[in-house]
Structure 1
Amino acid sequence: MKIKMLSRPTGDTTRDSKKAVFKVSSNPDPTLHPFERAREYKRAVTAAKLERMHAKPFVRALEGHADGVYSMAASPTSLVALLSGSGDGEVRIWDVAHAKTMWSVFAHDGAVKGLSVGYDGTSFVSCGDDGTIKLYSLSLESLLGAVPTAEESSAAGSAAASSASAAASAAAVAGGTVDPLNSWTLRYPVTGVDCRRMDETFLSSGGSYVEVWNPHRASPVQRLTWGADTVSCVRCSPSERHVVASAGTDRAVTLYDTRSGNPLRKLIMKMSVNAIDWNPREPMNFVAACEDHNLYTFDMRRLDRARTVHKDFVGAAMAVRFSPTGKEFVAGSYDRTVRLFPAAGGRSREVYYTKRMQRVFAVHYSADAKYVLSGSDDANVRVWRARASEAGGKLRERERAAVEYRQALTKRFGHLPEVRRILKYRALPGSLKKAAKRKREAADSENRKLENRRIHSKDSEATREGERSKRIARERV
C-alpha cells in the first residue's frame, strides 16, 4: 500500500542560528486578515505614546563662559568641534563629544558678534563690538588629541585628568595659537562675519557697508552698500559664492552680486530682520528671522511675497540656522525657546526649553544634522537631539526595523485626532502658554474686524491682504 506524504525542506521552518528569528509563514491575502486598519491604528496610537515617552532631547550643557553666548560656528571638517563667542570677548573651541574646552582666548574688548570657520577648516574669523576683525589659525587635530577621552580620564583619576587637560591646553596655547594671524581695525563696530565656501575670502558687516576681505590684504577688496543704516548681519550663499544677503536696522534685506559689485534687490519689511540663513540644498531660498515673532522663507527670484510663513514663537526670532540636509532649520527666540521647523512647514515640529535657559541668541546644527546647539545669555551652550526620541547609539537590525515601522505608522495615521493629539502635545511653561493664548486672541480679533469690514464695505474696498505679503512694506530694484 502506497502512502503519499508532504515533504518540505527543514530549512524553510528552522532558524539558522540560536540568535536568529523564528521563521513564520504568512498569507498576505486581505480576506484572511480582517480589521487590518483597526489593528494598525491601535499600533499607531501606541507608537505615538512611545515616541513621546522616549523624547529626551537635552543631551548636555557646555559650561565655562562668564557672559552670554551671542555667536557660534562649527567646523566643516569635524563633527565635534564647536566655536562660541561670549559677551566678554572670549572665544572658546569645544569638544562637544566630551564636553571639554579645547582652547580659549579673549579676542575682543567687547562682545563677540560673529564667528565663521574657513572652507578648509584651518582658520576662523571673529569680529566684535570693539571694531576689530581677527583671523586665527585652527588646528583641530592637535586640539582634539590634547583632550583626554572618558576612559583615559577614569583610568588616570579626576585630579590627574584635570591637570593633564590643563597642561595640554597650556601646551596648545604655547604653540602659537593665541596671537591672530591677521587683524583689522575699523572705525565702527563689526556686527557679523561669514566665510565663503569655495575660497579663503570672507565677508563682514558693520556701519552701512558689506565688505569683502582677502586675509592677505590690509584693506577690503570690495565694499558694497545700499542705504545709510547699520547692517546687522551678512550671509553668503553656500551654493553660489557671489550672491550675498544682508539685513539692516532699516528693516531691509538686501541682495548683492559681488561679481558686478552692485546690489540686486532690497526687500523692506514692516519689522526688523535679526538673522538670515540660506538653504544649502535650494540655492534660491533663504529664511529671515524677524522681530514680529515669525520667520519668512523667500525665493530670491520673487521677493514680493514669502514662500512660507513660520509661526509659533511668542517673542522675537533672534537666530536661525539651516540643517545640512536643507529639509529643516532651527531658530532661537527671545521667549527662551528653541524651535525646529520643516523648511516647507508653517508650524514647528519641536520646541526645546529648560528652566534655567534664558534668551537664545545663537543656534547651530552639527555637521551630521543629528544634534542642535544653542547659545543663550545665561552663559551656557546646550546640546539637543534633532530628533527628541532618537536613540543615541547604534541600533541592531531588529530595533531599526521596529523604529522604522513605528515611524511609518505615525506618518500614516498622524492626521487622525487621537494620534495627532499625542504627537502635538508639549509641556510648556505657563508664561509661554499665556502669551500664546493672548497672541491667538489678538489674531482672532483682528481677523473678525477685517471680515466685518469686508462684509460692510464696497467690493472695491473688500480686498484682503494675504498672510505671505502683508508683512512686506515694499521692494526696491
Structure 2
Amino acid sequence: MKVKVISRSTDEFTRERSQDLQRVFRNFDPSLRTQEKAVEYVRALNAAKLDKIFARPFIGAMDGHRDSIKCMAKNPNYLKAIFSGSDDGDIRLWDLASRRTVCRFPGQQGAVQGLTVSTDGSVLVSCGSDCTVRLWNVPDANLADLDSLSDNSAKTKTNSIAWNPMEPMNFTAANEDCNCYSYDARKLDEAKCVHKDHVSAVMDIDFSPTGREFVTGSYDRTVRIFQYIGGHSQEVYHTKRMQRVFCVKYSCDGSYVISGSDDTNLRLWKAKASEQLGVVLPREKKKQEYLEAVKNRYKHLPEVKRIVRHRHLPKPIYKAANLRRTMIEAERRKEQRRKAHSAPGSIVTESIRKRRIIKEVE
C-alpha cells in the first residue's frame, strides 16, 4: 500500500507578522485542472464587465476662456503643461495637475488658429486670423515675464502651424491660400512656399507617445480613441454640456487626453477609462495585468466581444448612426437592382473604372 504525504516546511509557510501575505501552494498541472479554460473564460467575462462599471474617464474641466478653443500645444519640457488658444485671441498656459491658468499671452488679434512649441520648449509660436505669426518667450518654472519676440504679417489667414523637429529653428504654417510656408525663427520676414497641393483640412488628431493609439475630436461632440491598426473606436468620451470638439491632445506621458471644445472649456480625460489613478500596489498591478491578458485571450468570443465593443452614445449620435447605416444599405440595394435589370456591360462598376484608369496611366 502506497501512502502519499505532503511535506511542507513550517518556516516557509508560516507568516512572521500578521501583516504578511499568506503563502498559498498551487499545482498548475493541466491534468489536475480540467476546468481551467472555463474558469478563465468566466474571469475574462467578469473583467470586461468590471471595466464598464468602473469606467470613469472624465477627470475635470478647466474654465477660463471666453470663446471657442481652437488649438492646443504641448510643452516638451513639462509633462503637466499645455497651451491653448481661443477665437478671442486669448492664449493661455495651463497646469494640468492643478487645472488652473499659469499665465496668459496677450497681443494676438483675432482668432488663434494654431500653436506650436519649439523642440527645446523655450519658444511658443502662434498664428491666427489677423494674418500674423508671433513668437513668445515661454516662462520657465519660476514664471518669468512674458515677451513677444517678434511677429510677421502674412498675406492670408493662417490656419495651423507646426514646428519642425529635425530643424530646431524652422516651423511651417498652413494658410488659407491652400499653401504651406516655411519660416526661420531668426528671419520671420522671409517665408518660403513649400507645399501647394493642400485642398482640405481636418478638425484635429493626435497620436499617443507610443504611436499605438490616436485620439480624434469631431463635430458630433465626442472624443474617440482608436487603435492604430484597429477599425472601431476603443473609447468614446462625451458629456452633456460638451459641444463641438475642435482640438485634442495626448499628454506627454500618454496617460491623459485633453480636449478643447466650442463651450470654452478644456477637459481632462483618462487615456484608459477604467484605469485606477494613484498608487497601485504590486499585487494589484499583477492582478490587473493578468485580467488584461485573460481578456485579450478570449476577446474573440461573442459574449466578451459584445461587452468590450459596447459603447453608450448620446441619442442624437445613435440616431444619426442608424440613419447613415440605413442610407448605405438602401444605396447598396439600389445598385444591386440596377445591375440586375441592366444590359451586361452597360454599368461601369468601381473596379472596372479603376482598371481603366490604370490602363490609361500605363
Same fold (TM over 0.5): yes
User: After superposition, where does 1:455-470 map in structure 2 within 5 Å?
Assistant: 455-456=340-341, 458=344, 461=347, 463-465=349-351
8 A contact 1:274–1:319 mirrored in 2: no
Task: Give the aligned partner of residue 69 of structure 2.
Answer: 69
Task: Give the aligned partner of residue 183 of structure 1.
Answer: 151
Match of 2:286 among 392, 398, 401: 401
Output the CA distance in 2 between the equivalents of 1:21 and 1:84.
49
> Displacement, 1:462?
6.7
Output the CA distance in 2 between the equivalents of 1:104 and 1:6.
72
Task: Give the aligned partner of residue 200 of structure 1.
Answer: 169
Q: 1:221 to 1:432 in 2, by over 3 A?
A: closer
Confirm or deny that 1:274 pairs with 2:184: no
User: After superposition, where does 1:150-165 map in structure 2 within 5 Å?
Assistant: none
TM-score (norm 1): 0.69
Match of 1:209 among 179, 186, 194: 179
8 A contact 1:182–1:215 mirrored in 2: no
* Fraction of identical pairs, as percent: 41
Output the CA distance in 2 between the equivalents of 1:350 and 1:465.
34
Output the CA distance in 1 between the equivalents of 2:31 and 2:7.
28
Output the CA distance in 1 between the equivalents of 2:238 and 2:348.
42
Task: Give the aligned partner of residue 228 of structure 2.
Answer: 343
Output the CA distance in 2 between the equivalents of 1:18 and 1:38.
35
Match of 1:377 among 257, 262, 269: 262
> Displacement, 1:21?
2.4
User: Aligned pair count?
Assistant: 347
Q: 1:320 to 1:465 in 2, by over 3 A?
A: farther
Unaligned regions of 5+ residues in structure 1, if any? 144-171, 228-246, 249-272, 276-317, 470-475
Output the CA distance in 1 between the equivalents of 2:220 and 2:12.
60
Confirm or deny that 1:24 pairs with 2:24: yes
Output the CA distance in 1 between the equivalents of 2:350 and 2:334.
12
Task: Give the aligned partner of residue 122 of structure 2.
Answer: 122
User: After superposition, where does 1:237-248 map in structure 2 within 5 Å?
Assistant: 247-248=198-199
User: After superposition, where does 1:187-336 map in structure 2 within 5 Å?
Assistant: 187-198=155-166, 199-206=168-175, 207-220=177-190, 222-226=192-196, 247-248=198-199, 273-275=200-202, 318-336=203-221
Q: 1:93 to 1:6 in 2, by over 3 A?
A: closer
> Displacement, 1:181?
0.6
> Displacement, 1:426?
2.0
8 A contact 1:211–1:220 mirrored in 2: no
Q: Please report the RMSD computed on the Cα atoms of aligned residues, expressed in angstroms.
A: 2.2
Q: Residue type matched to 1:367 in 2?
A: C
> Displacement, 1:274?
2.4
The SS at the match of 2:141 is helix
Q: 1:416 to 1:218 in 2, by over 3 A?
A: closer
Output the CA distance in 1 between the equivalents of 2:7 and 2:304.
47
Output the CA distance in 2 between the equivalents of 1:15 and 1:196.
59
Q: 1:456 to 1:346 in 2, by over 3 A?
A: farther
What do the CA deviations read for 1:24-81 (whole angstroms, capped 9, x no partner)?
A: 2222222211222111111111111111111000011010000010000011121110
TM-score (norm 2): 0.90
Q: Residue type matched to 1:180 in 2?
A: S
Q: 1:36 to 1:6 in 2, by over 3 A?
A: closer
8 A contact 2:169–2:186 mirrored in 1: no
Unaligned regions of 5+ residues in structure 2, if any? 355-360
Q: 1:129 to 1:41 in 2, by over 3 A?
A: same
Output the CA distance in 1 between the equivalents of 2:15 and 2:35.
31
Task: Give the aligned partner of residue 307 of structure 2.
Answer: 422
8 A contact 1:332–1:361 mirrored in 2: yes
> Displacement, 1:451?
3.3
Q: 1:15 to 1:447 in 2, by over 3 A?
A: farther
Q: 1:361 to 1:8 in 2, by over 3 A?
A: closer
> Displacement, 1:360?
0.5
The SS at the match of 2:187 is coil
8 A contact 2:57–2:272 mirrored in 1: yes
Q: Residue type matched to 2:150 in 1?
A: N
8 A contact 2:47–2:291 mirrored in 1: yes
Output the CA distance in 1 between the equivalents of 2:107 and 2:329.
49
What do the CA deviations read for 1:136-187 (whole angstroms, capped 9, x no partner)?
A: 01123123xxxxxxxxxxxxxxxxxxxxxxxxxxxx5xx2x0x311111122
Q: Residue type matched to 2:249 in 1?
A: H
Greater Cα shift, 11-20 or 59-68: 11-20
> Displacement, 1:460?
8.4
